[in-house]
Structure 1
Amino acid sequence: MTLDWCPGIREVCAHWHNAPMLHQTFEALERALEQDNDACIDCAKAMVEVVCRIVVESFHTVQAPLKPTQETPSLSDWLSAAIRALKLGDVRDDKFKKLVSSHHKLADALNDLRNKGGPTSHGKDPYLERLAVHHRRTAVLAADAIVAFLHKAYLDAMLDPVSSREPWERFEVANSLIDAHVGLSVEIEEEGAPTLKFLLPGGDELPLKIEVSRLLYLLDRAAYVEALNAARGAPALVTEQEKEQGEE
């Protein structure tokens, strides 16, 4: 077995490239697949749970909580929370509801298979026979189907830019609107940080006071380093207070 069995999982890992636990689980799955190890069943179940957690975290707020309330949430609990977060249960089409229900059944079956045959589950007889290859393949394919289903729904969802961890490119339509209708000017004060003024349609202004160093650090680390090196070679600035003291 190879990673060709789980294209959906590979796509998810490429998308959320900054999620350490997701990639750690993926690496464990990869090793188990290469070794034809039954541990791939545990990894497959864990991969589904991690993806559910990412989806839930993306939409969870204090005002609209989505995280499972159980002390030890099951895979089914996390999947239900992810489906609520993506509002997949709100679709009225009966056939789509059956599709959502089928993914719940897949998750339950995967969880049962993991509890019965996964070697890292607790309380197992050390002399249990290894599972057949079709058991491992079925577990991985089931996990991949659930992960791909959630990921595609996630990509189609409208995310809140205030709390989203998605990159700027994810909001292409919103970005185009802002770029077309909002201008930018800079107000430099004698002392203190400069103020960026975003010129809104209708004549209003949205001021944002920010240090140059902070702006460079947030937007372009290479430019930050270049500016730092240039600043190190510049002559020291003399403040107004130092000038007055010198004149005295």
Structure 2
Amino acid sequence: MVGARSAMLDGPFNEAIEQLINAIEDALAGAFDFAFDLSKTLVESVCKTVLADIGQPVASKWDAPKLLRETTSRLALLPRDHPDPAKARDSVEKPIRGLLQTIQGLCELRNQYGMASHGRDGFSARLDLRHATLAAQAADTVVSFLYRTHRDALMQTPGTRVYYEDHADFNDVFDRDSEPIQLGGVELQPSRVLFYGDREAYKAVLIEHLAEQSGAGDGIANGAPGEPDSEAE
């Protein structure tokens, strides 16, 4: 799970996702049938995390393919300064459709050969370790792409959930322009105090700063987080 693990290191520590990645790797080293269940769950969990970050409600009836469609349709798939976004988007969307086929395959593998979700006849046919590894590698590819794309967008345009560590440049500017805060003989960073004391106020000042930096203040050119990409499937 090299791709997923590396992608997660780019963002705030997420214990639940980390545990799923560890569990998949452990399953491949032992009871590999569990990898079918866990690989699908990992993709679902990352999709729900991305959607929650951008403030998109998730319906309880959404299955894994629906979750992935809703997630990819809301990702800013291209760099904001790409010179030919229409042509590039068309090319990018082709492998995106392949990811949708991948998640459908993971669902079928989990339903037919997974051990944890529904239970199964103890003497039913099993697949091999290589098939479980394929499922894990497929999930790894999907998760790595989704999370990296999502995190890149959040660094430029904050979502509903804002992470302090994402905006080191802004924090430095804010701290430089603000008086240090003394509390109990300890000097506290103004940006950190604002973030943990009033998250919405921090977000408002951050957005104003990013708008000034961009010179436009109208989000990402090819779709800000939380706004569906008009040409995505």
Q: Is TM more than 0.5 here?
A: yes
Is contact 1:68-1:81 (8 Å) kept? no
Residue by residue, what CA displacement relative to the aligned partner does 1:114-153 show, whole Å, maximum 9, x if unpaired? Answer: 1111111315222113311221121011101101111221
Partner of 1:104: 100
Partner of 2:40: 45
1:41-190 aligned within 5 A = 41-60=36-55, 66-69=56-59, 71-88=60-77, 92=86, 93-159=89-155, 160-161=157-158, 163-168=160-165, 170-172=166-168, 174-175=170-171, 183-185=177-179
Count the aligned residue pairs: 182
Kindly indicate whether structure 1 or structure 2 has the higher relative contact order, using CA contacts under 8 Å at least 6 residues apart.
2
Unaligned runs of 5+ in 1: 1-5, 61-65, 187-195, 197-210, 221-248
**Structure 2 counterpart of 1:212, which letter?**
L
RMSD: 3.2
Is contact 2:64-2:103 (8 Å) kept? yes
Q: Cα distance, 1:74 vs. partner?
A: 0.9
Q: Cα distance, 1:44 vs. partner?
A: 1.0
Residue by residue, what CA displacement relative to the aligned partner does 1:1-47 show, whole Å, maximum 9, x if unpaired? Answer: xxxxx211211343455323212222321220221521011111111
Moved more, 27-36 or 136-145: 27-36
TM-score of the pair, normalised by structure 1: 0.62
Structure showing greater Rg: 1
SS of the residue corresponding to residue 178 of structure 2 reads: strand
Tell me: CA distance 1:48–1:215, structure 2 relative to 1, closer, same or farther (3 Å).
Answer: farther
Partner of 2:208: none
Tell me: CA distance 1:178–1:215, structure 2 relative to 1, closer, same or farther (3 Å).
Answer: closer
| Identity, % of aligned positions | 25
**Structure 2 counterpart of 1:77, which letter?**
K
Tell me: CA distance 1:31–1:158, structure 2 relative to 1, closer, same or farther (3 Å).
Answer: closer
1:211-222 aligned within 5 A = 212=183, 216=188, 219=192
SS of the residue corresponding to residue 81 of structure 1 reads: helix
TM-score of the pair, normalised by structure 2: 0.65
Counterparts of 1:37 and 1:77, CA distance in 2: 26
